[in-house]
Amino acid sequence: MESLIVSIYVFTLAVFIGFELITKVPPLLHTPLMSGSNAISGITVVGALLAANANNWKVSTLLGVLAIVFAMINVIGGFMVTDRMLGMFRKDKKTEKGA
Amino acid sequence: MIYLEQFTYLLASALFIIGLKYLGSAKTARKGNQYAMMAMAIAIVITLVVSGIAGPVQIIVGMVVGGLIGGVVAKKIEMTSMPQMVALFNGFGGIASTLVAYSEYLEPTTLPVPLDVNITLILSLFIGTVTLTGSLIAFAKLQGLMPGRPLVLPLHQLLNFVLMIGVVIFGVMYVMAPDVPMWPLLIIAAAAIFGVTFVIPIGGADMPVVIALLNSYSGLAASATGFVLSNNVLIIAGALVGASGLILTQLMCDAMNRSLFNVLFGAVGTDDSTGDAGTGGGEQKTVTRYTAEDAAMIMDTVQSVIIVPGYGLAVAQAQHVLHEMAEILTARGIDVKYAIHPVAGRMPGHMNVLLAEANVPYDVLYEMDDINDEFQNTDVALIIGANDVVNPAARTKKDSPLYGMPILNVDYARTVMFVKRSMGAGFAGEANPLFFDDKTMMVFGDAKAVVTGLVKSLKEE
């Protein structure tokens, strides 16, 4: 039960940080932010790795492997597409030169 | 070893937070994404090392297969399809959390399983599964696999209520008798149905809200799984995503002047959302039709243009040719700006991405609050494939579903040009009185065809 209390502490504080970080984000970045944070939610892959770790196969191992596949799609796809999007954002070069 | 693992997870958590912070500013966003990537890599590697699990071949295979699929999708996906993709990825994150939780149920790490683990396990199964099926429905709606209009079943809210009660009952039964395999499966089944019934009554125009909300859920699912495994990096990363998703949800609701409750349970903007049949209203008013050539002639005489892009622009893939037109006008000394309504596109900030893809620099894109005062000093407001976000009925017509929604003040410009496929009303089903205004020019046609015609005429002169 003690670990639960600690977990609740950690969770609550992280939620507050999340609110603080995101509140001032300009609309320009909302889509990359969403796909980027979507990739972060793939952190569940860590749990999947633990679940799939067995030398003799059980149902739980199979579920773990499936979870790895889904979570990795989420992680790699999410980060890569976010990078692709952010790479397209650019300022006007003409105005940058001070015209 | 336990300390090494815990401190490395702490490092990863800190990097996630820094990454998310950097993602919030245009200059640092790319770096922020890379920080988050690094955090993920660190978390994965330490898990592999500490648990001594670099061995089992299934883990490597799973990672490679998932990574390859994700990588290919990320490379190939069209920017217009970004909302569907995010919805689908959300669903994958959700099911991964459910699978991990169920796997933990089958092979618990600690025996006997503590009560709090059982409780959070229920949460993880429930949220993960709702995220999966809800996201699949959102994907199907956005991809056009099912109609975008709201689908309301008989006794819909009652059904949702019964499902929720069911989940609570199954959950209590499960906690009292964790060995009975039926209860967790029933929880998953009820959650799967709930995810569907939760999203089907929400119309296509409200999808930005749904995607943001599902994004939040996928984070919460990961967080709940973190509770099950007592793993802080899962809890923290999941909570960050959960919070950011909620904030974006709220921003989208504010932009439409609707409450979240109303979006989720209101089923507004019903039925005839595609309504291409002229819903001009009772008395027949006349509309002035123009061609692209007429529009080009007007453009020759003006000094300032504000372009208002909407989803119709993206559907027609007209953003590139639009940028070409803007460059021609700018080269002639005309002041060209873009006005972006917060809910333009199909997910928050979608229009910004589409225009960035067309090489439109982001510093000529203006948010609604920054540009709304400029319309009165502007010669032409050029509205392409947008309707509801410029409909003055939102200001005055109290019984309109749009009433109260902040709109772009295009009607204050000296000339208003609409490029539109038809007279049809927008998603909200509200006729736009501006179509009939004397200073309005309606140019009917596909956005790409019309703008291409405009560019051609401009070049010929």
Which of the four pLDDT bands, split at 50, 70 and 90, describes residue B182?
Answer: very high
Do residues B102 and B50 share a domain? no
Pair B176, B222 in one domain:
yes
Query: Which residue has 């920080």 as its token pair?
Result: B35
Helix (H, G, I), strand (E, B) or coil at B227: helix
State the CATH number of the domain containing residue B362: 3.40.50.1220
Q: Is residue B201 situated within a structural domain?
A: yes
Pair B214, B358 in one domain: no
Q: Is A9 on the interface with B (CB under 8 A)?
A: no
Q: Which two tokens stand for residue B163?
A: 């499902």
Residue B249, pLDDT > 70, answer yes
> Out of A75-84, B28-37, B200-209, B414-423, which region has the weakest mean confidence (pLDDT)?
B200-209
Domain contains B273: no
Say what the pLDDT of residue B33 is: 96
| Residue with more model confidence, B41 or A93 | B41
Yes or no, beta carbons of A18 and B36 under 8 Å apart: no
Among B336, B418, B413, B344, CA closest to B383: B418
Collect all residues of chain A within an 8 Å Cβ-Cβ radius of residue B86. 31, 34-35, 38
Checking DSSP bridges between strand B440-444 and strand B289-290, what pairing results, if any? Answer: parallel
Which of B9-13, B71-75, B186-190, B201-205 comes out lowest in average pLDDT?
Answer: B201-205
The reply to whether B117 and B245 lie within a common domain is: yes
Least confident of B357-361, B382-386, B423-427: B423-427
- Asked if B252 and A33 count as a contact pair (C-beta separation under 8 A), the reply is no
Any domain includes B61: yes
CB-based contact B64:A73 (threshold 8 Å) = no
Short-list B381, B406, B321, B304, CA closest to B355: B321
Q: Of B43, B68, B93, which one is at a domain's C-terminal end? A: B68
Written as one letter, the residue type at B422 is: S
- For residue B13, is pLDDT > 90? yes
Q: Are residues B63 and B155 in the same domain?
A: no
Tell me the three-class secondary structure of B49-88, residue by residue.
HHCCCCCCHHHHHHHHHHHHHHHHHHHHCCHHHHHHHHHH
B384 and B364 housed in the same domain: yes
C-beta atoms of A70 and B92 within 8 A: yes
The answer to whether B171 and B122 are in contact (CB under 8 A) is yes
Answer whether residue B1 shows pLDDT above 80: no
Q: Can you tell me the distance from the alpha carbon of B145 to that of B138, in angstroms, rounded to the nearest whole number?
A: 10
Q: What is the pLDDT of residue B53?
A: 63
Residue B128: strand, helix, or coil: helix
Classify residue B271: in a domain, yes or no.
no
* Residues B297 and B419 reside in one and the same domain: yes
* The length of chain B, given as a count of residues: 461
Name the residue range of residue B58's domain. 1-68
Q: Which residue in this structure is represented by tokens 């090392």?
A: B49
- Tell me: cis bond preceding A26? Omega within 30 of 0 counts: no
Which residues of B have a catalytic role annotated? 388
For chain A, say whether B54 makes contact (Cβ under 8 Å).
no
CB B416 within 8 A of CB B410: yes
pLDDT of residue B55: 66
Residues 280 through 319 of chain B touching chain A, CB cutoff 8 Å:
none
DSSP string, B232-277: HHHHHHHHHHHHHHHHHHHHHHHHHT--HHHHHH---S-S-TT--S
Number of helices followed by number of strands (H, E) in chain B: 17, 7
Residues B217 and B260 in one domain: yes
CA distance B255 to B365: 17
- Judgement on whether residues B297 and B166 belong to the same structural domain of the protein: no
Helix-strand-coil percent breakdown of chain A, rounded to 5? 80, 0, 20
Q: Final residue of a domain: which of B50, B68, B86?
A: B68
Is there a domain that residue B272 lies in?
no
In a domain, B247, yes or no: yes
My answer on whether B38 and B185 are in the same domain is no
Q: Which residue of B has its CA nearest to A77?
A: B70
Beta bridge partners of residue B290, listed in sequence order: B443
Q: Are residues B375 and B296 in the same domain?
A: yes
Number of independent structural domains in chain B? 3
Same domain for B260 and B293?
no
Within 10 angstroms of residue B22's Cβ, the number of other Cβ atoms is: 20
d(CA B43, CA B240): 16
Q: What local confidence, expressed as pLDDT, does residue B278 receive? A: 39
